[in-house]
Structure 1
Amino acid sequence: MSARPPLTAIRTFDAVSRHLSFQRAANELGVTPTAVSHQIRALEAQTNARLFNRSPAGVEHTARGMQFAEDIGPAMEQIDQAFRKLLQFSDREQVVLGAGPIIASRWLAPRLPDFAARHPEIDLQLINSPTEIWRRAREFDLAIAWGNGDWPNLQSQKLLDVSLVPVLSPDLARELDLHQPGDLLDAPLLHHHDGKEWADWFALAGVHHSVPVGIKVEDTNVVVQAALAGTGVMLGIREFLADDILAGRLTCPFPNPLRQTAAYYLVASGASQFPAHEALEKWLLDCADKK
């Protein structure tokens, strides 16, 4: 067996290990799932070791695969850090920020001109990812992740607490003639994922009734667009929809906030080493303080 490690296959293995998905690893690497599968099989053949168990339910490590993932993790982080350090020798400072689609579009994007004005010397690259952003944190200098702030091998600090309120278009609000929270049971509800948040909000508002099945949408940005178009009523993140409410594009008939136990966190795979990273981190925290 060659003593030279197959670096492409190892990089592929690292991506699959973090995502536990060939598809998501392929998305990260910019290749096809078939190419990912080929690299993993080649690595398994070269090492004579099965690294993953595959099933219709997904991918999981074997014992040897888990050990290999733990062994190469620090080395992969060192390579990423070394590459980012090399980029700092360019004429301009560069920083890569990862974020999920909803916070990137509804909260971050409107604020980016302010960052550019304050830091014209920094080239900021924003990458939004529909997958759990913490799984890709090592690809970024800094990331904004949704969760409880407790992720293995990542440093995190809370950025933003959020709460949910019902919102809908003014035209639909006039049509429905809403007077009390229970009236929303007869409204077309827009559900993100399984609709559990609607049940929680109704219970908070004192309405104890089964929640009707409405339109289920995976992408939160699509839910927002549907609400703006008058398709139905959504439970939206108040902090992200404040501008739409102030401008009259959306209305909030019952501002009972359902506070979320999860929050948005700033995460990084290591301590900040460069002024550009620190400037971005401070700016994001300042923005959150101002809401």
Structure 2
Amino acid sequence: MDRLPPLNAVRAFEAAARLMSIRKAAAELFVTAGAVSRQVKVLEDFLGIELFSRGHRAVALTPVGERYFAEVSRHLAGLRNATTHLVEDKGRRTLKLRAYTTFAMRWLIPRLASFHGLYPDIDVRLSASLDAVDFEREDVDAAVRLGSGSWQGLQADRLFRNLLVPVCSPRLVEKRALRQPAELGNVLLLHSLARPDDWAKWLDAAGVEGVSAYTGIKYESSAMSYQAAMEGHGVAIAQKALVEEDLAQGRLCQPFGFELDMADFTYYFVFPIGRERKRELEVFRQWLKTQ
């Protein structure tokens, strides 16, 4: 059977089965008890199956009726929830953002509560990916991208300086007595597979020789390497803006003073030029500037 049952009949059956009463179902649906009974009979005729065993004053589900009620109630609950969410969202403003996982976790998410406090009528829907967003094909309003800030067809707002710095647990500094960058050869280097050349860039800029830039433990994301550094497993190369809170709270420390400024290769807030600009996008953009 490749067609829907009569939905009014399904609704009447679900109410009667849930309340185990034709009379109570009628009161809930604002119809007469006779109307509920007729609708249930319509559904039984449609299915060719008896759903209720009827007594003088009560009804009870047949075994088949119990199984059908379990399925029907689940789907009707889904319809109710979907409708409730749609009605609640009506009139609210939504901003759909895409960001890198580590950036979202370490920088953006900790700040979003303050945005919601200022603009409770705007819902921010944040997704994370390493892939550059395709605004022509994807339902995304704006994104955070790492690069030089020059992308055709996109407005790009620079967010902050991107400084590369080694970081580790304060306990590791004390244990290994790290004083000079050349001593990095005596500890485990922690890497992010998403940024495989960061150690090489920093060591070269700092004039450090004799330290292998690509040995050590490699993690899928920078966030994982930062966590490993906090646990005392080694020294990670970090984007300073993403670990500022950990540095301030003493969970991480900078064993050396040299910081490599990546100049314009940093994080940008981007959105399409020429597309009608939503009010919530401009509000979020201005809020970002204060951060």
Aligned to 1:224: 226
Partner of 1:23: none
TM-score normalised by structure 2 residue count: 0.63
Kindly tell me the number of residue pairs found equivalent between the two proteins.
Answer: 198
Q: Does 1:273 align with 2:280?
A: no
Name 2:151's counterpart in structure 1. Answer: 151
CA distances 1:66-85 after superposition (whole Å, capped 9, x unpaired)? xxxxxxxxxxxxxxxxxxxx
Q: Which runs of 5+ in 1 are unaligned?
A: 1-88
Question: In structure 2, what is the Cα distance between the partners aligned to 1:223 and 1:107?
Answer: 16
* Cα pair 1:134 1:151 within 8 Å, conserved: no
Structure 1 position 260 matched with structure 2 position 276: no
* Corresponding residue for residue 11 of structure 1: none
The alpha-carbon deviation at position 122 of structure 1 amounts to 0.7
Q: Which runs of 5+ in 2 are unaligned?
A: 1-88
C-alpha contact 1:201 1:258 (8 A) present in aligned 2: yes
Which has the larger displacement, 258-267 or 132-141? 132-141
**Which among 279, 283, 289 is matched to residue 287 of structure 2?**
283
CA distances 1:7-56 after superposition (whole Å, capped 9, x unpaired) = xxxxxxxxxxxxxxxxxxxxxxxxxxxxxxxxxxxxxxxxxxxxxxxxxx
2:120 & 2:228 partners in 1: Cα distance?
Answer: 36
Equivalence for 1:14 = none
Distance 1:255 1:118 in 2: 37
Quick one: distance in 2 between partners of 1:272 and 1:100?
A: 25
C-alpha RMSD over aligned residues: 2.0
Q: Which residue of the partner structure matches residue 241 of structure 1?
A: 243
Tell me the distance in 2 between the aligned counterparts of 1:173 and 1:284. Answer: 35
Say which is worse superposed, 137-146 or 100-109, in terms of deviation. Answer: 137-146
SS in 2 for 1:139: coil
Distance 2:155 2:259 in 1: 29
Query: Who is 2:117 aligned against?
Result: 117
User: Which residue identity is paired with 2:176?
Assistant: L
2:208 is aligned to 207
- TM-score, L = length of structure 1: 0.63
The aligned amino acid for 2:227 is Q
SS of equivalent residue, structure 2 residue 159: strand
Residues 93-108 of structure 1 mapped to structure 2, 5 A cutoff: 93-108=93-108
Counterpart code for 2:91: D
Which whole-Å deviations, capped at 9, do the CAs of 1:77-101 have from their partners, x for residues lacking one? xxxxxxxxxxxx9311111111111
Q: Secondary structure at the match of 2:255?
A: coil
Which residue identity is paired with 1:186? N
